[in-house]
Amino acid sequence: MAENEDRKITPTQDVDPGAFAIRAIQNNPTLQDSTKHQYIKALQNYLDTGGSLLDPVALAEYALTVGSSTRAFLAAAVTRLAQELEQLAKGAATPDNIDRIQAAVFRAQALQKAIRTEIRSGQKAHTWLTAKEAQELLDACKRRASGKPEFKIFTMRDRLAVGLMMAAGLRREEAASLRFEDVKKQNERTVLDVEGKGAKDRVVPINDRLAEAILDWKFLVGPEGFVLRSLGRNKEPGESISTTALYDIVQKRGALIGKPDLQPHDLRRTYAELGRRAGVPIEQISILLGHANIKTTQEYLNIELDLEVTISDFVPF
C-alpha cells in the first residue's frame, strides 16, 4: 500500500481527481463538444475499472489494454488533468511548503508521460481506406451487426453521412452543419457551399451519385434545414445531428468491415488519398479540403477550381 501511495500525486485536499478532470474538460472553451465527449468517455471507462487517475503505473498498464484511439483520448485527458493539477499546486505555493509543491509539480509532469501513444516503426499513423474498402464501408450501411437488413431510413442517412465525409471530404462539423440550401448547381456540376474551419468558405464539387443521394434524402425529410438528421426510436428524423452521432456512425459501420477504430477524419484522409492516386493535382486537393483560404490559394498557385474533374468522381458511392 505504501508503494502505491509513493507513486501517486497528492491532490489538493478534498479534490476528487475524476470529478476534477471531468469538470476541467467540460469547462475548457477550446475543445469541441464532441472532443469533450470522447475525453470524458475515455476517463470514465478507466475510472470504472477502479483505477486512480493519479497512479501513472495503473494508467500505463490500462492503456495497453485499449485501442489506439481510446488510448489517445485518455492520454490527452490525463495531460489536461496533470496541467490543471500543476497550476493548482503552483497557486498554493508558500515559503513553508515549496519543497512539497515542487514535488507535486514534478509528479504532475511525470503523469503526462504515463500513457505512451507513439506508433511503432513501420506502422502508419493514420488510416486510409482503399477504393474497395470504401465501397465495403458504404455497403455496410445496408446491414446491422446481426446481419439483418438495416431499416431503409438508417441506411439512407448513414450512407449519406459517410458519403459527405468520404466522397466530399467534409469534416464532421461541416457535415453536421450542412444545409439543403448549401447544395447548388454550378456549370452542370452539383457543388456544396461549405463554411469550414475558421469560417473559411469553400466550394466542393461532388459526383452525381452523391448528389442524387442528397436529393433522395431531401424528398424523405423535407426541402429545408440541415441535411443530416438524428433518428429517434420511432425512426422520425430530428432537426439536426450532433458530431458525436456522426462519430458513432463511423465507428459502428467501420466495425462491420473489421475497422472498429475508424475515425471520421480517416474518411477525409481517404478522400484526399484516393484523389491523389487518381491523379488529382495536390493543389486541387488543398483547395477542396479547405486547408487554406480558397482565393488566396488560387492566386498563389495560379490555378482555378476544376469543376470538370473532382475527387468525388473517384470515390465509390
Amino acid at 133: E
From the number of C-beta atoms within 10 Å of its C-beta (0-12, 13-18, 19+), residue 144 rates as: middle
Q: What is the DSSP string of 210-276?
A: HHHHHHHHHHHH-SSSBSS--B-TT--B-S---HHHHHHHHHHHHHTTT-TT--HHHHHHHHHHHHH
Find the catalytic residue in 200, 265, 269, 276: 265
Find the catalytic residue in 37, 107, 171, 253: 171
Strand order in the sheet with 183-186: 183-186, 189-195, 201-205
d(CA 12, CA 88): 8
Q: Count the helix, strand and coil residues of the chain and give each as a percent rounded to the nearest 5.
A: 55, 5, 40
Check: CB of residue 294 under 8 Å from CB of residue 302: no
Which residues share a beta bridge with 195? 201
From the number of C-beta atoms within 10 Å of its C-beta (0-12, 13-18, 19+), residue 52 rates as: middle
d(CA 160, CA 179): 13
Find the catalytic residue in 46, 247, 268, 271: 268
**Helices (H), ranges, 92-143:** 98-111, 131-140
Check: CB of residue 305 under 8 Å from CB of residue 203: yes
171 is catalytic: yes
142 is catalytic: no
Find the catalytic residue in 90, 179, 235, 300: 300
197 is catalytic: yes
d(CA 39, CA 24): 11
Find the catalytic residue in 7, 144, 269, 291: 291
107 is catalytic: no
Find the catalytic residue in 197, 235, 277, 295: 197
Residues labelled as active-site residues: 171, 197, 265, 268, 291, 300
